[in-house]
Structure 1
């Protein structure tokens, strides 16, 4: 089943070569918080990878409901995903993922921020 998401905002960055990466991501999420609603899910979407996790990528913040008129619509692509529950914090979980030998597609990855406070990271895999 395809899931439709509504993009709130987005930024292009790089985890290793952009000295402003933390500020860009922090600002992105701060701006999105005005649309946060109780019992709704938020998404951090990673796409348009230049190469792999060392290259540039686009990060979008999205919701599963239309937060405002004119929001760009995106569909989560059908592909195999490995799901990682976040135990401590999101950045630490990403660092652990980067160390793994996964057959990543680098097509579409996403973080799912659930209403109960739990966070899941979905990593797109090649089949």
Structure 2
């Protein structure tokens, strides 16, 4: 995967297992992102700065392919090997399936891609 620049809307630090407000925090990020919807924009849910693995703390961010406001920080999707998971049921159910896999995850950078056509894919960074 080649580096791709996207634009940060908002971010927070959380934990899937020990933060009782994880769903509220992530939902709030997406609520903020709705203000910046533009035709043809692709939105990203980004998971990075992992403390350890999927059970540890991490930073979750929401970003857009189109600059949402003048001061938006640019984020580069790092060049690494990714395994893509199409979201067929819902995003959380897909993450639960990913957590059960035996992938050699890098825990550098993972992301969800919400395409303008409504399709969703989750990209998991790999070591190999």
Q: TM-score, normalised by structure 1?
A: 0.98
Structure 2 unaligned residues grouped into runs of 5+: none
- The alpha-carbon deviation at position 64 of structure 1 amounts to 1.0
CA distance in 1: counterparts of 2:127 and 2:37, whole angstroms: 33
For residues 23-102 of structure 1, the aligned pairs below 5 Å read 23-102=24-103
- The alpha-carbon deviation at position 40 of structure 1 amounts to 1.1
Q: Secondary structure at the match of 1:27?
A: helix
CA distance in 2: counterparts of 1:10 and 1:103, whole angstroms: 26
Aligned position for 1:11: 12
- The alpha-carbon deviation at position 37 of structure 1 amounts to 1.2
Cα deviation digits, residues 7-40 of structure 1 (max 9, x gap) = 0000100000000001001111001100011221
CA distance in 2: counterparts of 1:14 and 1:38, whole angstroms: 32
4+ residue segments displaced more than 6 Å: none
Cα deviation digits, residues 45-96 of structure 1 (max 9, x gap) = 0000000000000000001111101111111100000000000100000000
Structure 1 unaligned residues grouped into runs of 5+: none
Aligned residues between the structures: 127
Aligned position for 1:112: 113
